[in-house]
């Protein structure tokens, strides 16, 4: 699946735009209908490593919105309303807000207004990291203006009752310049770290780091659950690891991983066997 140095972001072609105009509410057009749905997936995540101070904290995890011709401003506002109604402690945004860097900038300048009780933070995905490179700074500024901390090769450490919880993410592994060493250093004193890179393909690189992975829980997107999947297999995977990280929970090298199907679609507004998802995860010390 590697494409040399070319930025990886599927273009929305004429067929995609045409399909986006068809009535997605018609069940006969099932793949179009499914792409317009959105499931809330609730999980309780138990960990003996979680400090007691963060027991019961709730994380809203939203990724791969893909705002643009296939998913408009009305659905972005409905998404923010749904997430904000949860009043989660943390809102983490996994990237691919638009179809390319320009639509991602438009997404943030629209001020979707994701709100968290404690902190909202976001990273970037391959679609956010298309040329020109100069848009990255503008995207980060627009995120800040909307109350979301951009974490791109960066981390923030939250403290409560003498315990610490780090939130961390990196630049996109396909189109950006991820700096795992720097990000890991920023988390080294935290009692528990939630790492939310856009693409799970970066995870095996963390297993090779001195001391192993620097996080306990990873939340990722990118794969869209295959977007079109038959019997649990992607028709065409966007991961270099095929279906290793297609969808759902995994455990590797002592860390827990959730890969979301994401909200939107890429290239064509169709889904099959991979329902759109947003997540509400309750952290549990167990
Ligand atoms: Fe995506």
Task: Output b/e per residue, 121-152; b: 16+ Cβ within 10 A.
Answer: bbbbbbbbbbeeeebbeebbebbeebebebbb
> Looking at the predicted structure, is the pLDDT value of residue 6 above 60?
no
Phi/psi for 84 (5° steps) reads -65, -30
Q: Token digits for 193?
A: 């770290």
Ranked by mean pLDDT, the top range of 3-7, 231-235, 255-259 is 255-259
Report the separation in Å between the CA atom of 155 and the middle of ligand 1, taken as the mean of its atom positions.
22
Can you give the pLDDT at residue 31?
85
Residues 152-162 pLDDT 10s: 999 999 999 99
Can you give the pLDDT at residue 33?
85
Give percent above pLDDT 70 in the chain.
91
Distance, in Å, from the CA atom of 94 to the CA atom of 107, rounded to the nearest integer, reads 14
Report the separation in Å between the CA atom of 135 and the middle of ligand 1, taken as the mean of its atom positions.
18
Task: Specify the long-range contacts of residues 178-181, CB closer than 8 Å, at least 24 apart.
Answer: 178/153, 178/202, 179/153, 180/205, 180/206, 180/209, 180/214, 181/209
Mean pLDDT over each residue of the chain, to the nearest integer: 93
Give percent above pLDDT 90 in the chain.
85
Report the separation in Å between the CA atom of 222 and the middle of ligand 1, taken as the mean of its atom positions.
4
Residues 132-148 pLDDT 10s: 999 999 999 999 999 99
Residue 119 forms beta bridges with which residues? 90
Please name which of 110, 101, 211, 219 lies closest in space to residue 169, comparing C-alpha atoms: 219
Residues 166-222 pLDDT 10s: 999 999 999 999 999 999 999 999 999 999 999 999 999 999 999 999 999 999 999
Structure confidence at residue 1 as a pLDDT band (50, 70, 90): very low
CA dihedral (208, 210, 212, 214) positive or negative: negative
Residue 154 forms beta bridges with which residues? 169
Structure confidence at residue 5 as a pLDDT band (50, 70, 90): low
Residue 150 or residue 69, greater confidence = 150
Report the separation in Å between the CA atom of 56 and the middle of ligand 1, taken as the mean of its atom positions.
29
Please name which of 97, 95, 96, 78 lies closest in space to residue 40, comparing C-alpha atoms: 78
Report the separation in Å between the CA atom of 163 and the middle of ligand 1, taken as the mean of its atom positions.
34
Tokens 């809203």 — which residue?
A: 60
Q: Token digits for 214?
A: 């620097």
Residues 75-126 pLDDT 10s: 999 999 999 999 999 999 999 999 999 999 999 999 999 999 999 999 999 9
Report the separation in Å between the CA atom of 198 and the middle of ligand 1, taken as the mean of its atom positions.
8
Around Cβ 191, how many Cβ atoms within 10 Å?
17
Distance, in Å, from the CA atom of 124 to the CA atom of 140, rounded to the nearest integer, reads 9
Are the C-beta atoms of 219 and 94 separated by less than 8 Å? yes
Residues 214-255 pLDDT 10s: 999 999 999 999 999 999 999 999 999 999 999 999 999 999
Can you give the pLDDT at residue 32?
87
Can you give the pLDDT at residue 2?
34
> Looking at the predicted structure, is the pLDDT value of residue 4 above 60?
no
> Looking at the predicted structure, is the pLDDT value of residue 7 above 70?
no
Report the separation in Å between the CA atom of 189 and the middle of ligand 1, taken as the mean of its atom positions.
32
Please name which of 207, 191, 199 lies closest in space to residue 253, comparing C-alpha atoms: 207
Report the separation in Å between the CA atom of 18 and the middle of ligand 1, taken as the mean of its atom positions.
20
pTM: 0.92
Around Cβ 80, how many Cβ atoms within 10 Å?
20
Report the separation in Å between the CA atom of 84 and the middle of ligand 1, taken as the mean of its atom positions.
22
């Amino acid at each position: 699946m590697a494409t040399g140095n070319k930025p990886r972001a599927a273009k929305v072609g004429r067929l995609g735009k045409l399909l986006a105009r068809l009535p997605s509410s018609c069940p006969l057009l099932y793949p179009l209908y499914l792409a317009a749905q959105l499931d809330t997936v609730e999980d309780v995540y138990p960990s003996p490593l979680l400090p007691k101070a963060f027991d019961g904290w709730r994380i809203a995890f939203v990724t791969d919105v893909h705002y643009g011709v296939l998913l408009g401003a009305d659905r972005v506002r409905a998404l923010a309303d749904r997430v904000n109604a949860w009043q989660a402690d943390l809102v983490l945004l996994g990237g691919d807000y638009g179809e390319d860097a320009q639509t991602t900038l438009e997404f943030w300048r629209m001020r979707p207004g994701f709100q968290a009780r404690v902190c909202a933070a976001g990273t970037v995905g391959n679609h956010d990291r298309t040329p020109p490179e100069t848009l990255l700074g503008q995207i980060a500024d627009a995120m800040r203006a909307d109350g979301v901390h951009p974490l791109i090769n960066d981390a923030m450490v939250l403290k409560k009752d003498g315990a610490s919880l780090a939130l961390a993410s990196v630049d996109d592994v396909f189109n950006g310049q991820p700096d795992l060493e720097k990000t890991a250093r920023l988390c080294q004193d935290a009692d528990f770290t939630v790492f939310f890179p856009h693409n799970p393909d970066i995870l095996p690189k963390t297993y090779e780091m001195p001391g192993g992975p620097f996080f306990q829980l990873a939340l990722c997107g990118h794969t869209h659950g295959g977007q079109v999947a038959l019997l649990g297999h992607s028709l065409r995977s966007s991961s270099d690891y095929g279906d290793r990280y297609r969808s759902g929970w995994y455990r590797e090298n002592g860390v827990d991983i959730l890969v979301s199907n994401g909200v939107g679609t890429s290239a064509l507004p169709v889904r099959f066997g991979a329902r759109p998802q947003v997540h509400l995860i309750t952290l549990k010390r167990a």
